[in-house]
Structure 1
């Protein structure tokens, strides 16, 4: 197999894997696993809580744009998270007509639990990899993520 064919095949394999990873059903399965046992969060509210953690205090509109969800859906899930005591709403200091969504202390603890669950899941999945394979994958995934983040002008945290 020539180098060019191998490169295209690798790129096609990565493209297919990213496509599968970004499918809603794949994400929902992962989110369900991660949120198991975390009070107030489920597979539907996970992206809102996680996105708010990565973005920081934000309006529902800004958060919805960042996580790729409709604003009304984001607002509905934010209300569920607020009822669970994981986020709060406060006036937006830059726009008196708007409110910002903010993580509460319980929300921050939930995010820590979710991040630990994700790290544990990935560590478990990579137990058969050599340390070199895991390190190389992490480095290359970070590089790809940085490249992708720059495609939207660096707006995505």
Structure 2
């Protein structure tokens, strides 16, 4: 299992998944996907906060955000809590792109799991959620 999780978290594995998901979504590619997806998950944020959330260097996050801004998918707006800072936010086109990416992910998962025995996908999803929670919140005691 450790080897499978290691393979799943490899940059090459993620890039392959992102390539598949972004195919046909205008303005997004495997490199900009984490920025767009991360911004959808955490909401409007500074590049520093977004970079922390997605595990990417701030300068790289800013560069990819600029590409997404040029594609009309995100906008830079003044930060209401700090006049010196700028927040990144999805535009309406960005929200539509995220929906297309989420649909692509759903289709990919459904296609891959279509041959699994009945109930196995649901069991896998339950255990994957538990594992993800343990990784995201390692210091929290849980009763599951």
| Matched residue count | 140
Computing the radius of gyration from Cα coordinates, the structure with the larger value is 1
Q: Among 4, 11, 15, which residue is 1:24 paired with?
A: 11
User: Partner of 1:88 in structure 2?
Assistant: 75
Offset at residue 94 of structure 1 (A) = 1.1
Matches of 1:69 and 1:130, distance apart in 2: 37
1:133 and 2:120 correspond:
yes
**Can you list the C-alpha shifts for 1:51-101, whole angstroms capped at 9, x where unaligned?**
000010000000001101110000000000000000000011111110000
Structure 1 residue ranges without an equivalent (≥5): 1-12
Matches of 1:125 and 1:39, distance apart in 2: 24
1:119 and 2:112 correspond:
no
User: Partner of 1:8 in structure 2?
Assistant: none
Partner-residue secondary structure (3-state), 1:44: coil
**Can you list the C-alpha shifts for 1:6-36, whole angstroms capped at 9, x where unaligned?**
xxxxxxx2x2111101111111111001000
Displaced runs of 4 or more, over 6 A: none
Partner-residue secondary structure (3-state), 1:78: helix
Q: Among 29, 34, 46, which residue is 1:42 paired with?
A: 29
TM-score scaled by structure 1? 0.86
CA RMSD of aligned residues (A): 1.1
1:56 and 2:43 correspond:
yes
Matches of 1:110 and 1:20, distance apart in 2: 27
Structure 2 residue ranges without an equivalent (≥5): none
